[in-house]
Structure 1
Amino acid sequence: MTYTVDPARIEAFESFARAWMDLVTRHGGIHHGYFLPSEGKSDEALALFTFPSLAAYEVYRQRFGVDPEFIAADRIRDESGCVLRYERTFMRPLLPAEAPELHD
């Protein structure tokens, strides 16, 4: 995911990111981290995570707007205004040989 963030609210974005890293991990995915502005664009952040399959990702997505922990994580974003816009792109990873397996 690519986020346009409010640079003045980066601490709130970090709280939002930590909550989602935990949720992805606890619900079957592997979170590869958030990549926050450092040099160059000061308002762009990236998140990379994978699930074993599209079906597993869809099970995870069913919790959005329903699961209290997912709602609480989104509340951080909504109440702080730290995310101005985001885009979701689906890709398949090509990982180094030593990376954990991601398929059934």
Structure 2
Amino acid sequence: MITVHLKYEIDPDKLADFEEYGRRWVKLVDRFGGNHHGYFLPSEGDSDIAYALFSFGSLAEYEQYRTASFTDPECMAAFELARTTGCIRRYERRFLKPLDTGK
């Protein structure tokens, strides 16, 4: 399994736009066979940092999703929402794997 950790720097004045962006991607990742663990929005502390976590069974499955997302109409609409609203200033992507506990 591979888990993608996204850290977003968002425009706090466009939080509603970012929330809509997140709602779309939760459904899209799940539709493409992943397991979205949610978006985590600013509360206390930094007002411009948000996170998202989602998993796929393997890096290859993630790559298939990534490739398909560039031509899928719903994914393209989500990308366009972020671009036109400017709700995302920048983001970082990390790939994580769970600890094998030997169980």
TM-score normalised by the chain length of structure 2: 0.88
What whole-Å deviation, never above 9, does each CA across 1:29-77 have from its counterpart, x for those lacking one? 0000000000000000000000011111111001232111110011110
Gaps of 5+ in 2: 1-5
Of residues 77, 83, 93 in structure 2, which corresponds to 1:78? 83
Greater fraction of residues in strand = 2
State whether structure 2 residue 57 is matched by structure 1 residue 52: yes
**CA–CA distance in 1 between the matches of 2:89 and 2:79?**
13
Q: Which runs of 4+ in 1 moved over 6 A?
A: none
Relative to structure 1, is the Cα distance of residues 94 and 36 closer, same or farther in structure 2, using a 3 angstrom cutoff?
Answer: farther
Tell me how far apart the structure 1 counterparts of residues 73 and 97 of structure 2 sit (CA, whole Å): 29
Residue 15 of structure 1 corresponds to 20
Count of aligned residue pairs for this structure pair: 95
Q: Which residue of 2 aligns with 1:91?
A: 96
CA-atom RMSD in angstroms? 1.3
Query: Deviations 1:6-50 (Å, cap 9, x if unpaired)?
Result: 000000000000000000001010000000000000000000000
Q: Does 1:66 align with 2:101?
A: no
**TM-score scaled by length of structure 1:** 0.87
- Give unmatched runs, 5+ long, in structure 1: 96-104
Aligned to 1:27: 32
Task: Report the identity percentage.
Answer: 53
Q: Which has the higher contact order (CA 8 A, sep 6+)?
A: 2
